[in-house]
Amino acid sequence: MHIKEFLEVVCTQIKYKPIRNDIKDELNLHIQEAKENLILEEHLSEEQAEEKAVSNMGDALEIGRKLNKIHRPKLDWVLLILVGILISFGLLVSVIRSNSLQYSMNRHISFLIIGFIIGLCIYFANYRKLLNYSNFLYILSSVIILATIFLGGQRINSAYVYFNFTVLGRNIMPVYICAYLYILAFAGYLSNYNKNSIFEYKNIKIKKDLAKIIILSSISILLMCKIATFAFIGLMILTYIILFTAKIIYLKENVKSNLVKLYSTLIVIGILCCLFIYFTKPYIYYRIKMNLTAFELDQGGMGYVGYNINKVLDSSKPFDKSDINEEVYTLFDTGTNYALISIVSNYGYLVAGVVVVAVIFLCIKLFMSIKQIKDIYGKMLIIGLSSIILLQAISNILMNFNIGWQGEITLPFVSFGCNGLLINMISIALILSIYRRKDIQIKKRESC
C-alpha cells in the first residue's frame, strides 16, 4: 500500500473533517522518516521502503478508528444538564407569572424553542471563525447602542429598549445583545494581542494593541452607560477585568508586576469614581446605603423591596407558600429580577435552595471547563461568557437574599425575560461548541 492510499483510508474513519489534513501531515511525516531510515539501513529501493514503512504502521482502518475516538468532538453533558435544571426552574417562574399574565408561558416556551434552534446551529459551527469578525462585532454593538439612543429608544426600568419588531410583536432590549457582542469582540482582541507591536513617537513607546484594547473597552463602557443600569455596568467592568487578568496569567511574563500595575490602576480609578458619585450623585450613595443597611428605616422608599424580601424570608416554609399577604406576592410574581424570592414565596425555600445549588455547580463546571480548553481564543471566549453569566447569577442571588445591591439584574435561565433567555442560551451553545473541540488543535496553515 502506498502512502497516499494509506492516508486516505485512515482519514475515511475520522468523522471530524477539519482535523483530517493535520492528521495526514503528521502521519506522512512519520512514514517519510521511517522510509528514509529503511533506505539507509536496509538499502531498500524507494518503492520497497515506502511499502514497508506503510506496512509497519499497522492496519489503516484500525488506526483511523482509534484516531477518530481521540479527535471526536465531545458534548459536555454535565453543563447541559445543569443548564437544563435552571431552565426548568425558569418554566416554574413563568407558571407563577402566568397567573397574572396568561401569555407569559407561551412566550417563554416560544423563545426556548428559538434559542434551542439557534443554539444547535452555533454548536455545530466553527467558533474560531468569529475571531476574524472581532472588529465587526464591536462596531455592530456600538451601532445598535447609537441607534437605540438616537432613533427612538425609550427608557423602561432605567434601561433603554430597542425598536418594536412587528414580526415578534415586542420590544427588544439591546442591553444583553450589546454586552455579549462587546465581550466576544474583547475576547478576540485579547487573543490577537501582540506585545511586540510598538508605536514610537519622540522616544515615547506605546504598545499599540494594549492601547487599542484600553481605549475600545473604555468606549464600550461609556456607550453601555446609555442603555444599561448602574449594576449591570459594574458586572461588565468586572468581566473585562477578569478577561484582562486571565490574559496576563496566560502570557506568563512578569505576571505579579503586571497584575499589581493593573489592580493598582483600577483601585485608583475606582476611588476617583466613588468620590465623583458621592459628590455629584448623592442619591446613588443613599440608595446603596438603604439597600445594604437600612430596610426598616425606609420601608416606603428605597428600602421597600428589601423590607418585603425580609418578610418573605421570615415567613418562608420548606415546600409551601409563605405566610404573607397578597400584595407582597404580587410584588415578586413578575419573576424578573426577583425570580428566586418568588420561588421561595410560592414553593418554599428548599426548592429555591436547589436553584442556588445548581448555580454553584454551574460556576464550578464552567471554571473546570476553562482549564481543559487548549485554544487561546476558545479560552478567552469561555472566560468572558462564563464570567458575565456567573456574575449575574451570583449578584441576583445575593440581591434576592438582601445581601447585595438591589439592581436591575436577572438570574440567567430562571428569571422571566425572553431577551436574556435567548442570549444566555446562545452563549451556552457557544461554550458547548468550544468544549466540543477541546481536544482538537488545528494547526494554523500559512497561505501560499
> Other CB atoms closer than 10 Å to residue 119's CB: what's the count?
19
Residue 210 is predicted with a pLDDT of 84
> Other CB atoms closer than 10 Å to residue 102's CB: what's the count?
9
**Contact (Cβ atoms closer than 8 angstroms) between residue 186 and residue 193:** no
- d(CA 316, CA 296) in angstroms, rounded, equals 19
The SS3 of residue 445 is coil
The DSSP element (H or E) to which 204 belongs, if any, is: strand 204-207
Which burial class, exposed, middle or buried, applies to 86 when counting CB atoms under 10 A from its CB (0-12, 13-18, 19+)?
buried
- d(CA 27, CA 25) in angstroms, rounded, equals 6
- In terms of pLDDT, which residue wins out, 378 or 64? 378
- 361-378 per-position pLDDT tens digit: 998 898 888 888 888 899
C-alpha cell at 367: 471554571
Does residue 172 register a pLDDT over 80? no
The SS3 of residue 165 is strand
Residue 190 is predicted with a pLDDT of 92
Percentage of residues in the chain having pLDDT higher than 90 = 21
Q: What number of helices (H) and strands (E) belong to the chain? A: 18, 6
Q: How many CA atoms are closer than 13 Å to the CA of 94, on its beta-carbon side?
A: 23
> Other CB atoms closer than 10 Å to residue 111's CB: what's the count?
18
- 383-435 per-position pLDDT tens digit: 999 999 999 999 889 888 877 777 778 889 888 777 888 899 999 999 998 88
Q: What confidence tier does 448 reach under pLDDT thresholds 50, 70, 90?
A: very low
Cell 480548553 belongs to which residue? Answer: 373
Does residue 74 register a pLDDT over 80? no
Which burial class, exposed, middle or buried, applies to 62 when counting CB atoms under 10 A from its CB (0-12, 13-18, 19+)?
exposed
- d(CA 328, CA 331) in angstroms, rounded, equals 5
Q: At what angle do helices 339-347 and 77-98 cross, to 10 degrees?
A: 70
Residue 28 is predicted with a pLDDT of 83
Average pLDDT over residues 16-20: 73
| Non-local CB neighbours of 162 within 8 Å, separated by 6+ positions | 144, 147, 148, 153, 171, 172, 173, 174
> Other CB atoms closer than 10 Å to residue 291's CB: what's the count?
20
- d(CA 156, CA 273) in angstroms, rounded, equals 25
β-bridge pairing 164-165 and 159-161: unpaired
Q: How many CA atoms are closer than 13 Å to the CA of 272, on its beta-carbon side?
A: 6
* Mean residue pLDDT across the chain: 80
> Pick from 183, 270, 235, 241: which is nearest to 407 by CA?
235
CA 394-400-406 angle, 5° bins? 90
- d(CA 368, CA 176) in angstroms, rounded, equals 25
- d(CA 83, CA 434) in angstroms, rounded, equals 16
3-state secondary structure 59-102: CHHHHHHHHHHHCCCCCCHHHHHHHHHHHHHHHHHHHHHHCCCC
The top-scoring range by mean pLDDT among 21-35, 73-87, 197-211 is 73-87
- d(CA 188, CA 140) in angstroms, rounded, equals 15
| Non-local CB neighbours of 351 within 8 Å, separated by 6+ positions | 319, 343, 344
Q: What confidence tier does 284 reach under pLDDT thresholds 50, 70, 90?
A: low
Cell 501582540 belongs to which residue? Answer: 194
| Non-local CB neighbours of 81 within 8 Å, separated by 6+ positions | none
**Contact (Cβ atoms closer than 8 angstroms) between residue 391 and residue 239:** yes
Percentage of residues in the chain having pLDDT higher than 70 = 83
- In terms of pLDDT, which residue wins out, 158 or 24? 24
- 307-362 per-position pLDDT tens digit: 778 778 778 788 877 777 666 666 676 667 888 888 888 888 888 899 999 999 99
Average pLDDT over residues 84-88: 91
Q: How many residues does the chain have?
A: 448
pTM of the predicted structure, to 2 decimals: 0.80
Residue 325 is predicted with a pLDDT of 63
CA 106-110-112 angle, 5° bins? 120
| CA R_g for the chain | 27
- 95-123 per-position pLDDT tens digit: 776 655 555 677 778 888 998 999 999 98
What is the domain partition of the chain in residue ranges?
A: 3-70, 77-436
DSSP state at residue 19: G
Does residue 381 register a pLDDT over 60? yes
The top-scoring range by mean pLDDT among 41-50, 158-167, 222-231, 303-312 is 222-231
Q: How many CA atoms are closer than 13 Å to the CA of 158, on its beta-carbon side?
A: 11
